[in-house]
Amino acid sequence: MTAAVKRRSRRPKGLTAHIVLGLAVLISVFPFVWTVVMATNTTEDIYKSPPKLTFGSHLLENVRHVFDTIDFFGSMLNTLVVACVTTVLVLFIDSLAAFTFAKFDFPGRRVLFAMLVGFMMLPLQLAVLPQFILMSDIGWVGTLKALVLPALANAFGIFWLRQYIHNGVPDELLDAARIDGAGFFRQYWNIVLPMIRPALSFLAIYAFVGAWNDYIWPLVVLTDPGHLTLQVALAQLHVGHTTDYSMVMAGVLMASVPLVVVFTLFARGFIAGATEGAVQGT
Amino acid sequence: MSSPPVTGPAAVPRHHGGPGPARLRPRRTPPAGAVRPRRRGVLAHWRQYLAISPFFLIFGAFSFFPVFYSLYLAFQRWDGMGTVQFVGFQQFRFLWDDPVFWMSIRNTLVIWVLSTVPTLFGALVLATLLHSVRRFRGFYRIALYIPNVTSIVAVSIFFGAVFSNNFGLVNAILGTVGISPVPWLSNPWLIKLVIALLMTWMWTGYNMIIYLAGLQAIPTQIYEAARLDGAGPIRTFFQITMPIMRPIILFTVVISTINGLQSFSEPQVLFGSNAANPNLGGPGQAGLTTLLYFYQSAFVNNDYGYGAAIVWAFFVLIMVLVVVNWRVVQRGRKS
Amino acid sequence: MDLSRRGFLQAAALTAAASGLTVACGSGSGSAGSKNGKNLTLWYWGGALSDKVVAEAKTHFSKDVKLTVASIGGDFKSKLTTTLAAGTSVPDITGIKGEDMASFLPNAGRFLDLNDLGFKDISSQYLDWKTKLARTEDGKQIGFPIDIGPTALFYRADLFDKAGLPTDPDKVAERAGTWEDYFALGTELKKQVPGTYLVNNIGSVFNMAVGQGTERFIDRDNHFIGDQDHIRKAWTTAVRPYTLGLDAKINDNSWNAAVGKSLSTELGAAWHALDIEQAAPKTKGKWRVCAMPGGPANQGGSYLALPKQCRNPEEAFKIISWILSPKNDARGFADAAIFPAAPAAYSDPAMTGGDPFFGGQKIIDVFGPAAKSIPAAYEAPADAAVMAPFMTELTNIEAKGKKPDAAWHDAVGQAKQIARRQGVS
């Protein structure tokens, strides 16, 4: 009887769940489809009312316009460099600090960690102005260094990894390693890093996406038009009274697709980092 | 393994909602390094200090110091190029009398509420549903997270096109069912709604993933027991899922608050093409968030001191709100 | 200022240096050395100069210097300000928008005095009122005028014809001699051709009406005068089309979509022709231009300037005076609707031809006389910032249906406050 009740109650519920989730997926993905529609048509088609709803054949033309208007590949390369360097360094700095906070006791540890958590609450917009003055005083305005360095101080990453290491890396393992003669850094490198890989991949995507999509700081600090990031270049496409929408949309498409592809490729590890990895302790 | 079931990100919120340093350390783990006698004091831990130093030094130089330097700027008048002039509290007096500043705070708060509530609610519903299904799980997770990897600039341009008063898709669809065009981007409330929709679209998937992690960490035995007691799915949700999820929900509320109150790019890009009034947040300044007002004052009007005053006043205000809110929550918990 | 900044730098450098970061305590600008550099950069924004003339300038001067050109999108002024403040990667030649010029004048020290480089010998070739706006009170010339923005009334001859109104520019100008006449014409037009609007938004009317006067928001003695009659009158004029129902209330990105359809007239500067042409290519031949109701104003029109860091002032000045010679300036008109600031160009064949977009009309006949009779008004550094609340309140009328009198009251209140903040008494 319980089995019968279970089956009866589960079927419609499962179906409803799939319908709701399916709708949510449609809403999530629709903008990408619609962006493609706009990017493959002409601006006139977009301005038509009702607008054209089907794919057009003007993609190449629009893409060419994008290339004519902004240095697309240059800014893409800049963004890629900034995002990659930032991600790698953040992973290293944060995991090392997280390991230290999670597994060692040293004078001042509590205070330092409390400060770190407090930092998470500071609105960094406050820093934009003086950061800019600082950058200009040390002559970094307009350089990619100016984008990477401030992004390296990622309090969230340390906080998050610390929890993971604290609960996910058994002390016994570290004790055993120490008895075998492994020093601080070798414990970190040989034991901790491999064990927290799922958490790292979550943080990696988080940091990479954050660096890729950062907007206000690059907008302010990148004064040299040869050194723009993709987001700033994209915003420049969209300026002025007369907006060539199909061209802008082609730019939006080209700027978003790489990230979506990278994400989908690494999504397995990323999702695992956020979910399955979280329950490996059970 | 002996470690508690909830680890990793799911454990984050447990300490996040805490009042401060005293509760930051959950319990005294016997840290591996502490086995050694502490006779050499601080110096013995040079490796540990070295390991955490990059963060603190970089943060100190590029974030902490600038943040407090901006406090100094808030007491000056400076056009960004000429001389700096000390003006005392004048900027804050101006701020007090500036209706645009107060409006920008109202705008920010309205947009924040309009976006956070549906985002978190939708994320919780989706996570619960996703937790209950068996097929296509991986697909759903990826597809629903994708909005979060797109850039705010791209999404803002997209929303601007779709909700355009004259040629937008939304009005075209409404038109086919006989509804006259809705002024999405010129009515003050609709402007806020569009910005909130945009943020909801971007952040629902992200929060869903975090909730999902929490849900998966709840041992299935608890649910088995509840079912044996005859609890239905709704009761199970409110009596078991919600209490266990409470810290995680608090965590997402905090993160959403930080994100939501810092909205800037959305209205900036959405209305940046308005040649007559760029950076003003659209018609009626309905999309003028506090950070956008800061940007406009500092970088457009070259009034850097006033810009710094805006952000600091905003920060203090938010802190007051948070503390009051927290006190209320604490009192509610005691009684 | 320098003291506190140095202190700030030292403290920050100490923090950073401890971590082993190589903080290069640079001298700010690396270009302090010789002043005969072979590489020059030029910053402008899309449509500020004729791309063809700029390309020719590159080859023309290629034996002496290498000219690198960068078209900057986005917020040109804030980009330039921050770069100048930073003192690094400063362009050798830069464009400055006309509406921003006033706010750069207090920091004229950041630029070279063009008079020292020979501008005073050729300045008589350029419209005096335009040149003066880029000159400090003590006679330092920081901007070399590129173009001006004489305004006119653009109108759809086909719609006028449909409404049984005259379509000939002279006749239309006669019928729309004053703002009231113009609005009466609009009322007629709307009756005959329903669904069309006379103006895209009332902010544009206000902008024009203010520009027709000889005073703006702040006077020479640095007093706020934005609450006085001349502004009030412009405001009342601007609100008229709204009350008459002639206002399309376009304040978002849909101007492009509307311009080929529901807008029967446009108030705009000479360069606005290009906007219309790009937004509504299908309406080619249907537009005409005539004198603006109530007389011409100026809108926009830019300058070239040489920042102090310029690596080769002599050569840079040669380049800009070549690009902006009346002859080359005239070509900008055909290429990018850039209306020259040098009257000699107006008789150049490049400008006297008929424009097919305007049905072959010789539009110089409208803009030429307008250019010469633009009233010269003093524009204070804070003028743009003080004007902003008026524009905002006008959109409030359109978007929220706010009562015009309440809007005026709020606009003046906010403008006064911004003025105080900016040090205006």
pLDDT, tens only, B200-215: 999 999 899 888 878 8
- Mean pLDDT for all residues in chain C: 86
When CB atoms are compared, the residue of B3, B273, B304 closest to A238 is B273
In this prediction, residue C5 has a pLDDT band, given cuts at 50, 70 and 90, of very low
* B310: its two tokens: 């805006």
In this prediction, residue B24 has a pLDDT band, given cuts at 50, 70 and 90, of very low
Largest distance between two CA atoms of chain C: 80
* B304: its two tokens: 């850097």
pLDDT digits (tens, 9 = 90+) for A51-87: 777 888 888 888 988 888 788 899 999 999 999 999 9
The C-alpha atoms of residue B233 and residue B218 are separated, in whole angstroms, by 15
- What 3-state DSSP class applies to C110? helix
Best mutation target among A2, A189, A219, A238 (most B Cβ atoms within 10 Å) is A238
- Does B301 reach chain C within 8 Å, measured CB to CB? yes
What's the pLDDT score for residue A203?
85
The C-alpha atoms of residue C231 and residue C330 are separated, in whole angstroms, by 35
- What 3-state DSSP class applies to C322? helix
Tell me the average pLDDT across A193-219: 84
What's the pLDDT score for residue C295?
94
pLDDT digits (tens, 9 = 90+) for B139-162: 898 889 889 888 787 788 788 888
Report whether C118 contacts C314 (CB < 8 A): no
The C-alpha atoms of residue C238 and residue C261 are separated, in whole angstroms, by 22
Nearest to C281 by CA among C273, C292, C269, C270: C273
The C-alpha atoms of residue C111 and residue B82 are separated, in whole angstroms, by 13
**Position C171 pLDDT exceeds 60:** yes
**Position A9 pLDDT exceeds 50:** no
- Exposed/middle/buried for residue A172 (C-beta within 10 Å: 0-12, 13-18, 19+): exposed
A248 in any annotated domain = no
What's the pLDDT score for residue A282?
31
When CB atoms are compared, the residue of B70, B125, B171 closest to A127 is B70
Nearest to C210 by CA among C229, C197, C190: C229
Q: Are residues A12 and A133 in the same domain?
A: no
Query: Scanning the structure block, which residue is given the tokens 């038109």?
Result: B175
The C-alpha atoms of residue B90 and residue B67 are separated, in whole angstroms, by 20
Q: Are residues A114 and A228 in the same domain?
A: yes
Report whether A189 contacts A124 (CB < 8 A): no
From residue C370, alpha-carbon distances to C214, C348, C374, C377 in Å are 15, 17, 6, 15
Tell me the average pLDDT across A210-239: 79
- Percent of chain A's residues with pLDDT above 70: 83
**Position B120 pLDDT exceeds 70:** yes
**Position B12 pLDDT exceeds 50:** no
- Residues forming beta bridges with residue C94, ordered by sequence position: C43, C305
Report whether C288 contacts C355 (CB < 8 A): no
A223/C26 CB distance under 8 A: no
Strands C93-96 and C39-44: parallel
**Position C135 pLDDT exceeds 90:** yes
**Position C13 pLDDT exceeds 50:** no
- The DSSP line for C180-212 is HHHHHHHHHHHHHSTT-BSBS-HHHHHHHHHHT
Q: Are residues A227 and A161 in the same domain?
A: yes
Q: Are residues A121 and A51 in the same domain?
A: no
Q: Do domains C33-148+301-347 and C151-297+361-421 have the same CATH topology?
A: yes
Report whether B199 contacts B263 (CB < 8 A): yes
- The DSSP line for C333-400 is HHHH--EES-GGGGGSHHHHS-BGGGTTB-THHHHHHHHHTPPP----TTHHHHHHHHHHHHHHHHHH
B158/A249 CB distance under 8 A: yes
- Exposed/middle/buried for residue C416 (C-beta within 10 Å: 0-12, 13-18, 19+): middle
Alpha helices, DSSP H only, in B163-187? 169-176
pLDDT digits (tens, 9 = 90+) for C227-251: 999 999 999 999 999 999 999 988 7
- Does C388 reach chain B within 8 Å, measured CB to CB? yes
- What 3-state DSSP class applies to C135? strand
What's the pLDDT score for residue B17?
33
What ipTM was predicted for this assembly?
A: 0.80
Best mutation target among C22, C29, C78, C89 (most A Cβ atoms within 10 Å) is C89
pLDDT digits (tens, 9 = 90+) for B272-284: 655 445 557 777 7
What's the pLDDT score for residue B15?
36
Q: Picking from A97-101, B253-257, C219-223, C300-304, which range would have the lowest pLDDT averaged per residue?
A: B253-257
**Position C18 pLDDT exceeds 60:** no
In this prediction, residue A49 has a pLDDT band, given cuts at 50, 70 and 90, of low
What's the pLDDT score for residue A274?
55
Report whether C84 contacts C78 (CB < 8 A): no
- Domain span holding position A86: 71-237
Q: Tell me, what DSSP letter sits at residue A152?
A: H
A129 in any annotated domain = yes
What's the pLDDT score for residue B200?
95
What's the pLDDT score for residue B11?
37
- Residues forming beta bridges with residue A281, ordered by sequence position: none
C254/B98 CB distance under 8 A: no
The Cα of C29 is separated from the nearest Cα of chain A by a number of Å equal to: 8
- Taking CB atoms within 8 Å and a gap of at least 24, the contacts of B254-258 are B254/B16, B254/B17, B256/B115, B256/B116, B256/B119, B256/B120, B256/B203, B256/B207, B257/B112, B257/B116, B257/B322, B258/A120, B258/A121, B258/A123
What's the pLDDT score for residue C410?
93
- Does B88 reach chain C within 8 Å, measured CB to CB? no
Segment (H or E) for C69: strand C66-71
| Ranges of each domain in chain B | 98-302
B271/C252 CB distance under 8 A: yes
Nearest to B218 by CA among B245, B191, B258: B245
Phi, psi of A95 (to 5 degrees): -70, -35
* B303: its two tokens: 């009034």
Q: Tell me, what DSSP letter sits at residue C328?
A: H
- Percent of chain C's residues with pLDDT above 70: 91
pLDDT digits (tens, 9 = 90+) for C31-74: 444 577 888 999 988 778 888 899 999 999 998 899 988 877 66
Rounded to the nearest angstrom, the gap between the alpha carbon of residue A229 and the centroid of all alpha carbons in its chain is: 15
From residue A192, alpha-carbon distances to A181, A270, C131 in Å are 16, 18, 69
- Exposed/middle/buried for residue B135 (C-beta within 10 Å: 0-12, 13-18, 19+): exposed
Report whether B114 contacts B122 (CB < 8 A): no
**Cis-peptide into A50, omega within 30 deg:** yes
Phi, psi of C303 (to 5 degrees): -135, 160
When CB atoms are compared, the residue of A136, A233, A243 closest to C87 is A136
The Cα of A257 is separated from the nearest Cα of chain B by a number of Å equal to: 9
The C-alpha atoms of residue B226 and residue C293 are separated, in whole angstroms, by 80
**Position A273 pLDDT exceeds 90:** no
* C331: its two tokens: 């070509």
From residue B140, alpha-carbon distances to A18, A20, A130, B147 in Å are 9, 11, 43, 12
pLDDT digits (tens, 9 = 90+) for B297-321: 887 788 889 999 998 898 888 888 7
What's the pLDDT score for residue C371?
92
**Position B37 pLDDT exceeds 70:** no
Q: Is B98-302 a CATH 1.20.1260.10 domain?
A: no
Q: Are residues A23 and A163 in the same domain?
A: no
* B166: its two tokens: 């004259």
**Position A8 pLDDT exceeds 60:** no
**Position C301 pLDDT exceeds 90:** no
- Does A220 reach chain C within 8 Å, measured CB to CB? yes
**Position A127 pLDDT exceeds 60:** yes
Report whether C143 contacts C134 (CB < 8 A): yes
- Residues forming beta bridges with residue C67, ordered by sequence position: C40
CATH number, domain C151-297+361-421: 3.40.190.10
Q: A137 to chain C: nearest residue by CA?
A: C28
The C-alpha atoms of residue B80 and residue C86 are separated, in whole angstroms, by 9
Sheet holding C39-44, edge to edge: C66-71, C39-44, C93-96, C303-305, C144-145
- What 3-state DSSP class applies to C145? strand
In this prediction, residue A1 has a pLDDT band, given cuts at 50, 70 and 90, of very low
From residue C378, alpha-carbon distances to A75, B302, C111, C171, C375 in Å are 41, 20, 21, 33, 10
**Position A265 pLDDT exceeds 90:** no
When CB atoms are compared, the residue of B47, B153, B219 closest to A231 is B153
**pTM of the model as a whole:** 0.81
What's the pLDDT score for residue B10?
38
Tell me the average pLDDT across A248-253: 87
**Position C282 pLDDT exceeds 60:** yes
- Does C15 reach chain A within 8 Å, measured CB to CB? no
Q: Are residues A52 and A103 in the same domain?
A: no
**Position A186 pLDDT exceeds 80:** yes
A223/C86 CB distance under 8 A: yes
- What 3-state DSSP class applies to B143? helix
Domain count, chain A: 2
A269 in any annotated domain = no
From the CA atom positions of chain A, what is the Rg in Å?
24
- Percent of chain B's residues with pLDDT above 70: 83
Helix, strand, coil % in chain A, rounded to nearest 5: 80, 0, 20
| Ranges of each domain in chain C | 33-148+301-347, 151-297+361-421
What's the pLDDT score for residue A54?
82
* C51: its two tokens: 């791309």
**CATH code for the domain in which residue A204 is found:** 1.10.3720.10
What's the pLDDT score for residue C193?
92
Q: Picking from B221-230, B262-271, C44-53, C351-360, which range would have the lowest pLDDT averaged per residue?
A: B262-271
Report whether B305 contacts B213 (CB < 8 A): no
A171 in any annotated domain = yes
**Position C139 pLDDT exceeds 80:** yes
Torsion of the alpha carbons at C15, C20, C22 and C28, rounded to the nearest 10: 10
When CB atoms are compared, the residue of B72, B82, B284 closest to C399 is B284
CATH superfamily of C33-148+301-347: Periplasmic binding protein-like II (3.40.190.10)
What's the pLDDT score for residue C226?
94
